[in-house]
């Protein structure tokens, strides 16, 4: 019992330390020995919990990816109007970042180090997410709720603005999730008005 409990704790510890270190200094710059030291174990012991460094990174990335998809779906389903759907999706997106400040940065900046089967899966997953945003934009434009623009360009602008909110959370102004999400929504949705 005590052993199993400790083992679960260690695995979580490895992941949390990895999220922090990968974000701070980059996946490629962090060795297994340094990660192990942060956890308080020796490097080979990590392999009792993760088969490889790649498996560790992909667990971090896909966990965040799942959260983005689920938060989006849950936020959008109860809204009728496309403007409200978009606003809710944006807020949900910022919410996922806010509750995963370190891991979401790894998701955004370190995914490129994923290895061959995981890399393709990740790209597909992320593209599907972008398309969910574009879909709201396209439908809203067709219905006349949004101004007709290049929806791919707009989706990129929206996601880019949302994805850098990490820096705003980290800055000394101490903006809340709501202030950030509302501020960006206001700016972009007003810009989209027909």
Whole-number minimum distance, CB 175 to a second copy, in Å? 7
Task: Provide the mask over 29-58, with x wherever binding to a second copy is found by CB under 8 A and - wherever it is not.
Answer: x-----------------------------
**Residues 10/49, Cβ–Cβ less than 8 Å:** yes
Rounded to a whole number of angstroms, the CA Rg of the chain reads 19
According to CB under 8 A, which one of 7, 164, 176, 178 is a site residue for a second copy? 164
Distances (CA, A) of 108 to 103, 123, 130, 144: 9, 11, 13, 33
By the rule CB under 7 A, 30 interacts with DNA: yes
Task: Provide the mask over 90-129, with x wherever binding to a second copy is found by CB under 8 A and - wherever it is not.
Answer: -------------------x--xx----------------
In total, the chain counts a number of residues equal to 194
**In this chain, which stretch among 54-62, 64-72, 118-126, 156-164 interacts with a second copy, using CB under 8 A?**
156-164
Report the DSSP beta bridge partners of residue 146: 193
Whole-number minimum distance, CB 19 to DNA, in Å? 15
Query: Which does residue 171 bind out of a second copy, DNA, none, counting CB within 5 to 8 angstroms by kind?
Result: a second copy
Q: H or E element: which one contains 142?
A: helix 116-143
Using CB under 7 A, list all residues that contact DNA.
Answer: 6-7, 10, 30-34, 36, 41-45, 47-48, 51-54
Which chain residues interact with a second copy by CB under 8 A?
25-26, 28-29, 109, 112-113, 149-150, 152-154, 156-158, 160-161, 163-165, 167-168, 171, 173, 175, 179-180, 183-184, 186-193
């Amino acid at each position: 019992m005590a052993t199993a409990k400790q083992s679960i704790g260690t695995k979580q510890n490895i992941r949390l330390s990895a999220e922090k270190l990968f974000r701070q200094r980059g996946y490629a710059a962090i060795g297994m020995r340094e990660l192990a030291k942060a956890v308080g174990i020796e490097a080979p012991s990590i392999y009792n919990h993760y088969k490889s460094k790649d498996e560790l990174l992909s667990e971090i990335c896909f966990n965040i990816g799942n959260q983005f998809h689920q938060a989006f779906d849950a936020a959008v389903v109860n809204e009728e109007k496309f403007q409200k759907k978009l606003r809710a999706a944006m807020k949900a997106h910022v919410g996922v970042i806010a509750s995963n400040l370190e891991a979401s940065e790894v998701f955004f900046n370190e995914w490129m180090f994923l290895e061959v089967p995981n890399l393709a899966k990740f790209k597909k997953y992320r593209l599907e997410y972008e398309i969910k945003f574009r879909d709201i934009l396209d439908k809203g434009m067709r219905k006349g709720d949004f101004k007709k623009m290049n929806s791919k360009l707009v989706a990129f602008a929206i996601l880019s603005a949302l994805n850098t909110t990490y820096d705003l959370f980290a800055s000394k102004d101490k903006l809340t999730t709501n202030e950030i999400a509302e501020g960006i929504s206001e700016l972009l949705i007003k810009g989209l008005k027909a």
